[in-house]
Amino acid sequence: MNKQRDRSGFSIGQVAKAAGVNVETVRFYERENLIKQPAKPTIGMRQYASEVVMRIRFIKHAQALGFTLQETRELLALRADDAEVCAAMRYHAEVKLHSVQEKIRSLQALETVLAKLIKECKSGDARQRHSCPILQALDEEEIPGE
């Protein structure tokens, strides 16, 4: 590490590179108040503390687990409060897990309906009738099998 970085912190580009994001992501997180923008010195560039890199990584990991930015804000707030952190984090993870499981069930139902429509479309009956079962299903008030 160079002496300049040791003494005064990281530039926005260095933060972005160390966190594995681009500079615009850092700026976006600043606008969203997920990270604080350091004060601009009279001379030179803003300097970010190394903790900002860890915070951005936390945000990216939370997003990878499916947490929204609002949910990530809540997780960051919990992280700052030492009392009952693990129980609160577990609760948020359980809520997210339930949401993911609901989405999986919904996607599986969608998969079943699409597979059925495709099968009907491939059948000889559909070709003989000169009609498309998929188009017919889209025209109906309710998708069959949904």
pLDDT tens profile 61-82:
999 999 999 999 988 888 766 6
Residue 140 reports pLDDT greater than 80: no
Which of 78-92, 98-112, 130-144 is the least confident region? 130-144
pLDDT of residue 3: 40
Average pLDDT of span 103-124: 88
pLDDT-based confidence at 120, cuts 50/70/90? confident
Angle at 63 between CA 37 and CA 84, to 5 degrees: 85
Closest CA to 59 of 71, 46, 47: 71
Bridge partners for 48 per DSSP:
10
Residue 129 pLDDT grade (very low, low, confident, very high; cuts 50, 70, 90): low
Cα–Cα distance, 34 to 73 (Å, whole number): 7
> Which neighbouring-strand residues pair with 10?
48
Quick one: 120 exposed, middle or buried, by C-beta within 10 A (0-12, 13-18, 19+)? middle
| 19-32 residue pLDDT tens | 999 999 999 999 99
Q: What is the pLDDT of residue 48?
A: 95
Q: What is the pLDDT of residue 138?
A: 78
Rounded average pLDDT over 133-141: 76
